[in-house]
Amino acid sequence: MRLLVDSHVLLWWLDGASRLSPTVADAMASATNELLVSTASVWELSIKQSVGKLRVSADLHEHALRQGFSELPVTGVHACAVRDLPFHHRDPFDRLLIAQARVAGLTLVTADRAMSAYDVPILPAGA
């Protein structure tokens, strides 16, 4: 399974996975699953770091790559796919993740219940 993690799921994983459900923690730890982090999530978390809403000492991008995540770039196809999404969710970063999951056929790992309104496979992340 190819798992695209939401920004908060990435933080939870990098913090030791205690906030993740056992099912999600097992899925993310499984060598048979591919872990993906979107450039959009790296961008979102970098903004939060720069304005002081997120305090972490590590470079999250590098740390995620060292933990086995592959980076999913944002493409024009992903950006255009946002246009076709209904407005169940207004957060632009989350809408981009949903578009990326739809375009690439990925399972989105998130604790954000609003994302389940879209036609993408969701793996609920919360413990």
The mean pLDDT value of the chain amounts to 94
Q: Which pTM does this prediction carry?
A: 0.94
Quick check: 86 and 115 in contact, CB under 8 A? no
Tens of pLDDT, residue by residue over 56-100, are 877 889 999 999 999 999 999 999 999 999 988 889 999 999 999
Instruction: Please report the pLDDT score of residue 127 as a whole number.
Output: 65
Quote the CATH superfamily of domain 2-124. Answer: 5'-nuclease (3.40.50.1010)
Helix H or strand E encompassing 35: strand 34-38
> Which tokens go with 63?
């740390």
Average pLDDT over residues 25-30: 96
Count CB neighbours of 34 within 10 A: 14
Q: Does the pLDDT at position 47 exceed 70?
A: yes
